[in-house]
A = this chain, B = another copy of it.
Amino acid sequence: MSRLQEVYLGLDVGGTNIAGALVDKEGIIVKQVKLPTRAREGQDVVVSQMCRAITLLLGHAEQNEFYVQGIGMGIPGPVSVKEGISLHSPNLFWDNVPIRDIIQQQFSLPVAMDNDVRCAAIGEKFFGAGKVAKDVICVTLGTGVGSGIFINNHLFRGFRDIAGEIGHITMNPRGPKCNCGKNGCLEAYVGAPNISRRAKEAIFNQKYSVIVEMVNGNLADITPEMVHRAALAGDELAKNIIQETAELIGLALSYMANLFNPQLIIVGGGVARSGEMLINPIRDTIKANAMREHGKILTVVPAQLGEDAGMIGAAWLLNAD
């Protein structure tokens, strides 16, 4: 008699691809699939791509005698976890899609959903850099800026499941317009497109940067990754942009340190690929601005799971609360 291995099915639904995986109780990916999202073709196509990814993974599970405990989905943009609804997802062109019930009707398994930032945080907390601690904040620096907060090993969601919105803390009420409609949010400075914009503005306003050559003078092509490479090459303008980015992130994280008194802050997301060049001044800024005791007990580390965090966390959703 063979013993069935328990696994969880996670989907990370992005604007371009759907990444799906069977994940075991240790957070190890035992099978992985990737399908195009085809978001521009409409909601039904995205849903059928999601169902296809799930079906492929369930088929693999059956062949290998994996026992699938449930399905978890990470959806970009604001969601209502209680109702299982994607409220508004610019990347998927969705508004008010009751995606949990739609998927539940197709598969006789428990289904959970949350937004992609929180899923990535769950992955890092339980199977990545956060395994070692109970009181953890995992911040994701990408196009958007968000965080997942864990208190005594449980995900903290808030009254209406929208806690952790560090990206929309007002850093400067007279600052640049943010996607959320307000001005001067952290994300309006350090979200990936805004790092590019700030580099562009700095080049316009002042001086030489190697970035201009990198994009052959086409400043619209600047990416945060280029700013990072330029800074590595010693470019002053790029180094300033990264320093300023780190100081803004560090200041906002010092607020979280004072308010949540966490043991560990994990810094992840695409922008965090700048590594120690970004994380060191983030650490310094937190220490300089958090209360002494709060700073003393706090460790700040880079994320470990990279792009896998989202699907691993989605798979673990049913266990995270």
Give A residues with C-beta under 8 Å from B: 78, 134-135, 149, 151, 156-166, 168-170, 173, 180-182, 251, 254-256, 258-263, 288-294, 297
Query: How many copies of this protein are present in the complex?
Result: 2
- Contact, CB under 8 Å: B159 / A135: yes
Bound Cα distance A254, B263 (Å): 24
CB contacts (< 8 Å) of A151 on chain B: these are 151, 156
Contacts of A134 in B (CB 8 A): 159
Complex Cα gap A254–B173 (Å): 12
A291 to chain B, nearest CB (A): 5
For A293, give the chain B residue with the smallest CB separation.
B162
Inter-chain contact B261/A160, CB cutoff 8 Å:
yes
**How far does the alpha carbon of A162 sit from the alpha carbon of B78 in the complex, in Å?**
30
In whole angstroms, what is the CA distance A254 to B256 when docked?
Answer: 13
Contacts of A135 in B (CB 8 A): 158-159
The reply to whether B256 and A259 form a contact with Cβ atoms under 8 Å apart is yes
CA A163 – CA B298 in complex, angstroms? 13
Query: B168 near A261 (CB under 8 angstroms)?
Result: no
- Given known pairs A156-B151, A173-B289, A261-B157, the reply for A162 and B294 (CB within 8 Å) is yes
> Known contacts A162-B293, A182-B288; can you find 6 more A-B pairs with CB under 8 A?
A134-B159, A149-B259, A158-B262, A163-B259, A164-B259, A166-B258
Pick 29 A–B contacts, CB within 8 A, sort by A: A78-B293, A135-B158, A151-B156, A157-B261, A158-B260, A158-B261, A158-B262, A159-B261, A159-B262, A160-B294, A160-B297, A161-B261, A162-B261, A163-B260, A164-B261, A165-B259, A165-B261, A165-B291, A165-B294, A168-B258, A169-B255, A169-B259, A170-B255, A180-B291, A180-B292, A181-B292, A182-B288, A182-B291, A255-B259
A291-B168 in contact (CB<8A): yes
Q: A156-B151, A170-B251 are in contact. Are A291 and B162 (CB under 8 A)?
A: yes
Q: Which 7 A-B pairs have the closest CB atoms?
A: A158-B261, A163-B261, A135-B159, A165-B258, A159-B263, A170-B289, A168-B291
Chain B residue nearest in CB terms to A135:
B159
A259 to B151 alpha-carbon distance, docked (Å): 13
